[in-house]
Amino acid sequence: MKKLSFVLFAVFFTSLSWGQDLSRSTNAAELTKKEMEMNDFAWRANIIMFDSAYLQKQKTLLNDLLIPVGGMGGPSFMMTTVNDQFTMMMGGGGGMLLGHSVILGGAGYGMTSASKVSHISGATTNTGNLTFGYGGFMLGYIFFPESVAHFTLYGMIGGGGVIITPSTTNGILIDPNAVQTVFPCGAASIGANLEVNIGKMIRVNIGGGYRFVWGVNDYHISGVSDAGLSGPYGAVSLSFGWF
């Protein structure tokens, strides 16, 4: 700050001296072209310095509302239970990062393998394979993001679907009239992560949470319920971006 003040003073003093020396005559004919250009430059420099000094002192309502904006996103690997069976889900999420802490974005996940179900009301087959996926809007907060290791809390709300795919034998449909059926549902989750800064643009997260599912009971799928699709989960994820 001291160096900047010294430079501004030097420029001001020099420009003022130029202005006095070069204004020795009001007759433009007595000034060379070069002297006129230097004179003009000196007065412009004075105006710029005065304006800059004024703007630095000036207070506005938005002075303290400058928020850094970044972005992040990456894949996620989830371990959980669906329909009372252990399963893996894969997906990812990302979005805007405000003030290095507030996350505004979205995420989505889907099962990597199917589970068998039967007696399906509303589907075109009585037996099939169930897969489940969900996603939605995500809101989170990063605590102490400047630390190498820190914590993140987040919540997500949206929807998903239970997908019933007809059973096959050697790649041939057991029921030739059966088609894939999708049962929409609501979904949400809350969770927390331990996040570690690996590099300037990469972070790794280890954590878990709880998934809530509703609306599946209305379909009367044998052995499948809101409670069976809801449950705890653990997850490992990577985030890439500008933090």
- The C-alpha torsion from 45 through 50 and 53 to 54, rounded to 10°, is -140
How far apart CA 19 and CA 112 sit, in angstroms, is 77
pLDDT in the model for residue 180:
77
pLDDT tens digits for range 151-205: 999 999 999 999 988 777 666 666 666 677 889 999 999 999 999 999 989 999 9
Residues 151 and 124 in one domain: yes
Instruction: Look at residue 64 and tell me if it is in a domain.
Output: no
pLDDT at 123: 57
DSSP state of 23: T
Q: What is residue 50's predicted lDDT score, i.e. its pLDDT?
A: 45
Predicted local distance difference test score (pLDDT) of residue 89: 97
- Residues 18 and 38: beta-carbon distance below 8 Å: yes
Q: Are residues 77 and 44 in the same domain?
A: no
Q: Domain check: are 136 and 227 in the same one?
A: yes
Question: What total of structural domains would you count in the chain?
Answer: 2
Q: What is the CATH number of the domain that holds 100?
A: 2.40.160.20
Q: Is residue 63 part of a domain?
A: no
Model confidence at 88, in pLDDT bands (50, 70, 90)?
very high
Q: Which of 10, 34, 57 is the last residue of a domain?
A: 57
Report the range of poorest mean pLDDT among 105-119, 129-143, 146-160.
Answer: 105-119
Q: Residue 139: exposed, middle, or buried by beta-carbon count in 10 A (0-12, 13-18, 19+)?
A: middle
Domain enclosing residue 46, as ranges: 2-57
DSSP letter at 153 equals E
pTM for the full predicted model: 0.68
Residue 102, both tokens: 């507030």
3-17, 43-57, 169-183, 218-232: which has the highest mean pLDDT? 218-232
Structural domain includes residue 115: yes
CA dihedral sign, ordered 5, 7, 9, 15: negative
Specify whether 117 is located in the same domain as 190.
yes
Least confident stretch, 40-44, 116-120, 143-147, 229-233: 40-44
Spatial CB neighbours of 196, under 8 Å, sequence gap ≥ 6: 148, 149, 203, 204, 205
Residues 5-18, mean pLDDT to the nearest whole number: 42
User: Does residue 53 sit in the same domain as residue 95?
Assistant: no
Instruction: Verify that 93 and 26 share a domain, yes or no.
Output: no
The answer to whether position 89 is within a domain reads yes
Percent of the chain predicted with pLDDT > 90: 47
Residue 26 in this model has a pLDDT that exceeds 50: no
In this structure, is residue 52 part of a structural domain?
yes
Confidence of residue 143 (pLDDT cuts 50, 70, 90): very high
Q: Are residues 9 and 84 in the same domain?
A: no
The 10 Å Cβ neighbour count of residue 51 is 10
Give residue 84's pLDDT band: very low, low, confident or very high (50, 70, 90).
confident
Q: Is the pLDDT of residue 108 over 90?
A: yes
CB 40 within 8 A of CB 48: no
